[in-house]
Amino acid sequence: MINHLLTCLAGTLFLLPLANNTKFATAIAPTEICDNALDDDGDGLIDINDPDCECDARKPSSLIPNPSFEDHSCCPNAPGVLGCADTWIQASEPTTDYLHPCGWFGWDYMSVPLPIPDGEACVGFRNGKYRTEVDPQWKEYVGACLLAPLQAGKSYRIRFHVGYSDALYSPPTNIAFFGTTNCDNLPFGIGNESFGCPSNDPNWQQLGQVAISGTNEWQVKEINITPTQDIYAIAIGPDCTPIDSEFDMFYYFDNLVLAEEAAFELSVTTAGIPCSPDFTLIIPPAADIIGYQWYKDGIALIGETNPYLTVTTGNGVYQARVTNAEGCAITPPFVLDAPAIYTDVDAEICRGSSYNFNGQILTEEGTYFDTLKTATNCDSIIQLNLAWVDRIFSETSARICQGDTYNFNGQLLTAVGTYLDTISTAQGCDSIVRLSLEWRENVFGEANASICQGDTYNFNGQIVTEEGTYWDTIRTAQSCDSIVRLNLTWRDNVFGEASASICQGDSYNFNGHVLTEPGTYWDTIRTSQSCDSIVRLNLELMNGGSDTMVVKIFEGERYQMGQHRFDKEGEYDVFFSSEAGCDSVLHLILEFYHIYIPSAFSPNSDGNNDAFTLFGGDDLVMVKDLQIYDRWGNFVFRNNNFVPNDLSLGWNGSINGKPAPIGVYVYTALLVMHDGKEKRFSKEVVLVR
């Protein structure tokens, strides 16, 4: 029988020969093609909406050759054999270590964290000590000539993995990145193991640094740099600070990616106005990008494979998928929501009339819509609410004096009564007005006034000197008669009383009299109406006072009283002025709350400091909340609303029933004092065994 193979692109079917010449059919499920706007695998998800089209995090091409130390010409047979890693240069006299599972793979007492981030190989370096030799300037660096120079004034980023052994051998430190203008400057410090960092050589400069801290793990770190000169070679390792330690300080490098900043982050910029026909989305250029594909709402826009997209497909979510030698990446979503402007217009017409609505002649009431284009090509939607205007009926009233006239829309009226008139409104509809015209009665007014004995009063030109009732007739503003009655009375002398106080030794001015003693004083003055006014003054002598106040604060706080601030326990006399301006003294007794929070404890069952809790005197009544976290922010222990000074209510140094590792932990505690005051403390506590 003739063997054969039948292949289909979608729903692929293979006919494969078996040993007995029978055929076995195998169906291969189709996979999603990410740039054809079709649901190739039939799962209802098209293109980048389908998980089949997800991209890994973008990794730009590195200007450092062999960035993960994978290419090698030999296997390391001992530490310090960086020369096995292709293109890498031992930059310093103290030698870095090349680790590869094909040969030497690290020190037993400083194991490399696994897995290696990118491949199988990495390098290790020391800072400040080599085994039994303590040398603060012992610093190990790796170096390389770049595939292309870093150009002066351009922004770059180096992203790398740094690895840690345990906390004893990999304590927190700083990683520094150095550059030089010539590859011939590698290596540096030849023959001098105590040369230190590269910038001790005038041909080298530090381009940046970053702090690192970790335990038995790998971390991703970044340094952003903008060189002032063209850089052709680099070195990386510890910073320039001399380190004096009794332990080896050892760290690891892998996956050193150096590229322009723009190559690490994808972004979409715009040109033009969103509603305009030339509105364009743009991906800033990057040297390593070799392909583009634009999408709307996750579905490919066929043929749109440029770094820019002129938007002709309306509102939606736009993204681009770019590819380079390392893989693909998708830009963050750009949401295009071109605005539509909505306008409400209310209008009225008389029955039988018409209304011109942007060229539409309307004769019926109702709601109408029209869509226009703005100057920026956006839609402008107008809603017209058109209503009939019924005949308007209004009513008004007026009054006139007898013998006068009233102008009613051109009609001169001389008699009271009801009158009608028809006028046209602004819309041209009839409006009927009814006027009720009445006589205005003569006005009767009354006034009351008073004068001092011997004075005069002017009553509309009449000079009056005696109390009594007087009459006068005048014309109002409407020319009607107005009769006024004046009731004039004598004004009695005024008697007034006042009270005042002075401090000892002060004086009081009583209408020109300077008084220095307490007592009752009299004076006679003229009022604003020129009548006699008798005033009695009761003058008192005010003394200052004293008082005592006890205040408690937490140590480290300040207590403020007026302009005075106190932060130490003790007794203080504070002088004030009373409301009367007299001297007053306050005796302040300032005390600290009595609390004690240990900085370390040792849960080793020796009867001393076997648990961590909070202590205090009688003024500490309750620990409202106690929470403990490890140095990575992981939750360890919590207790609420318990009394202080009881070790059994605190943390016994265990996590999930197992002894917690020694080290530094962070606590936060909320204390409640006897006076109701609450205070939160957040610090570190050391667990030792």
DSSP reduced 3-state for 207: strand
| 197 Cβ contact list (under 8 Å, min separation 6) | 139, 141, 176, 178, 206, 237, 238, 239, 240
Half-sphere exposure of 637 (CA within 13 A, CB side): 23
| 80 Cβ contact list (under 8 Å, min separation 6) | 95, 96, 97
663 neighbors 631 (Cβ within 8 angstroms): yes
DSSP assignment string, 247-293: S--EEEEEEEEEEEHHHH----EEES-TTSTT-EEEPPP-TT--EEE
Report pLDDT digits (tens) over 32-76. 999 999 999 999 999 999 999 988 656 788 999 999 999 999 999
pLDDT at position 28 is 65
Residue with tokens 């006897």: 674
Please report, for residues 383, 680, 686, the alpha-carbon distance to residue 651 in angstroms, rounded to integers and kept in the order given: 70, 18, 12
- Could you give the CA distance from residue 59 to residue 43 in angstroms, rounded to a whole number? 30
- Could you give the CA distance from residue 344 to residue 561 in angstroms, rounded to a whole number? 61
- Could you give the CA distance from residue 14 to residue 376 in angstroms, rounded to a whole number? 58
- Could you give the CA distance from residue 546 to residue 495 in angstroms, rounded to a whole number? 39
- Could you give the CA distance from residue 188 to residue 255 in angstroms, rounded to a whole number? 23
Which tokens hold the place of 178? Answer: 């150095």
- DSSP category for residue 209: E
Backbone angles phi, psi at 294, to 5 degrees: -95, 150
DSSP assignment string, 95-127: PPEEE-TTS---BTTBPPPSS-SSSS-EEEEEE
For residue 375, the Cα-to-chain-centroid distance in whole angstroms is 36
391 neighbors 431 (Cβ within 8 angstroms): yes
- Could you give the CA distance from residue 137 to residue 135 in angstroms, rounded to a whole number? 5
Sign of CA pseudo-dihedral 216, 220, 226, 227 = positive
pLDDT at position 563 is 86
Sign of CA pseudo-dihedral 231, 235, 236, 237 = negative
Please report, for residues 6, 28, 29, 40, 164, the alpha-carbon distance to residue 14 in angstroms, rounded to integers and kept in the order given: 5, 8, 12, 19, 50
Report pLDDT digits (tens) over 646-659. 999 999 999 999 99
Listed as ranges, residues in the chain with pLDDT below 50 are: 1-26
This model's pTM is above 0.85: no
Residue with tokens 């292709």: 86
Backbone angles phi, psi at 33, to 5 degrees: -90, 130
pLDDT at position 4 is 33
pLDDT at position 390 is 67
- Could you give the CA distance from residue 461 to residue 447 in angstroms, rounded to a whole number? 15
Please report, for residues 492, 527, 536, the alpha-carbon distance to residue 530 in angstroms, rounded to integers and kept in the order given: 11, 5, 19
- Could you give the CA distance from residue 114 to residue 102 in angstroms, rounded to a whole number? 16
169 neighbors 273 (Cβ within 8 angstroms): no
188 neighbors 182 (Cβ within 8 angstroms): no
